[in-house]
């Protein structure tokens, strides 16, 4: 009997919290547009990638995004995509790359989490090798939420609910960095190591700048 009372009380508290959250106006933090991110980064020169068409933008539901390729004469290029969502209350939520990549014909052949040393500590991110035909790429990505770096999609959803209830904010972003694996390298292992080194070094240069564009 006591357990039923406890469970009922917990459900009532949860329901009250949801009602309170839904009735509060959402806070949209002030930030700089992602277009302000430097074009020169990590010794590389950036170029804008082709704009996404309206159909794809409608599917993604982003409020702000950048898609660029950063080139270096002595290394493989690095592609950067950041998609920012001001609010995720109305069903516009971040799409997991693990769902989007296969839909574009890219098959994950290796999926793990790695630690990257950055200014002020280290971050844990997803590291994936993807393949389409004879072409392979190294991808790292994470969810960026209120100063947190979140690798797990499920933890991202948990923080989404907790932050909405505590701070009336549901803004967050997806950060994705990709580098191709060269086919003309002496070995596949060397080529993959080169691509991984490129995305890690780029992440280390990018990360300290993100707080101006992705609010804590």
The rounded Cα 106 to chain-centroid distance in angstroms is 18
pLDDT number for residue 12: 47
pLDDT score of 210: 95
What tokens does 94 get? Answer: 């971040």
pLDDT of residue 72: 94
* Region of poorest pLDDT, from 127-131, 141-145, 187-191: 187-191
Statement: residue 73 has pLDDT above 70? yes
pLDDT for res 149:
97
* C-alpha to C-alpha distance for 202 and 45, rounded to whole angstroms: 12
Q: Is pLDDT above 70 for 57?
A: yes
What's the number of domains the chain is made of? 1
pLDDT of 145: 93
* pLDDT at residue 116, rounded to an integer: 98
| pLDDT for residue 1 is more than 60 | no
More confident residue, 169 or 90: 169
Is residue 121 classed exposed, middle or buried when 0-12, 13-18 and 19+ CB atoms within 10 A define those classes?
exposed
Q: How many Cβ atoms sit within 10 Å of the Cβ of residue 169? A: 20
Mean pLDDT along residues 100-118: 92
Give the chain's radius of gyration (CA, Å).
20
Q: Could you give the CA distance from residue 63 to residue 200 in angstroms, rounded to a whole number?
A: 27
Instruction: Give the other-Cβ count within 10 Å of 50's Cβ.
Output: 6
Q: What DSSP string runs through the chain?
A: -HHHHHHHHHHHHHHHHHHHHHHSPPP------GGGS-SEETTEEEEEPPPPPHHHHHHH--SEEEEEEEEETTEEEEEEEEEEES--TTS--PPPHHHHHHHTTPEEEEEEEEEEEETTEEEEEEEEEEEETTEEEEEEEEEEETTEEE--HHHHHHHHHHHHHHHS---EEEEEEEEEE-SSSS-HHHHHHHHHHHHHHHHHHHGGGGGGTS--
Q: How confident is the model at residue 99, as a pLDDT?
A: 84
Q: Which two tokens stand for residue 113?
A: 């989490």
Please give the average per-residue pLDDT across 74-79, as a whole number: 95
Between residues 17 and 149, the one the model is more confident about:
149
- Distance separating alpha carbons of residues 115 and 106, to the nearest angstrom: 24
pLDDT at 19 (0 to 100):
43
Query: For position 21, what pLDDT does the model report?
Result: 52
39: left (phi over 0), alpha (psi -120 to 50) or beta: alpha
Across the range 132-160, mean pLDDT stands at: 93
Domain boundaries, position 170: 2-212
Taking residues 49-57, report their average pLDDT. 85
pLDDT at 91: 66
Specify the higher pLDDT residue, 55 or 123: 123
**CB within 8 Å of 2: residues ≥ 6 apart:** none
Percent of residues, the chain, with pLDDT higher than 90: 56
Signed CA dihedral, 161, 162, 163, 169: sign only: positive
């Amino acid at each position: 009997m006591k357990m039923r009372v406890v469970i009922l009380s917990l459900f009532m508290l949860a329901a009250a919290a949801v009602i309170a959250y839904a009735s509060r106006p959402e806070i949209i933090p002030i930030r700089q547009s992602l277009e302000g991110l430097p074009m020169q980064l990590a010794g590389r020169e950036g170029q804008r990638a082709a704009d996404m068409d309206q159909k794809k933008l409608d599917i993604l539901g982003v409020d702000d995004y950048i898609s660029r390729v950063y080139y270096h004469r002595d290394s493989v290029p690095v592609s950067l995509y950041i998609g920012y969502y001001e609010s995720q209350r109305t069903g516009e939520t971040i799409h997991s790359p693990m769902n989007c990549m296969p839909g574009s014909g890219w098959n994950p052949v290796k999926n793990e989490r790695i630690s990257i040393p950055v200014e002020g500590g280290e971050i844990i991110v997803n590291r994936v090798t993807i393949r389409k035909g004879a072409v392979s790429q190294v991808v790292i990505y994470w969810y960026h939420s209120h100063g947190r770096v979140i690798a797990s999609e499920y933890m991202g959803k948990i923080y989404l609910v907790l932050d909405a209830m505590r701070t009336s904010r549901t803004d967050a972003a997806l950060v994705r960095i990709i580098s191709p694996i060269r086919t003309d390298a002496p070995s596949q292992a060397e080529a993959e190591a080169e691509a991984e080194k490129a995305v890690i070094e780029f992440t280390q240069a990018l990360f300290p700048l993100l707080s101006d564009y992705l609010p804590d």
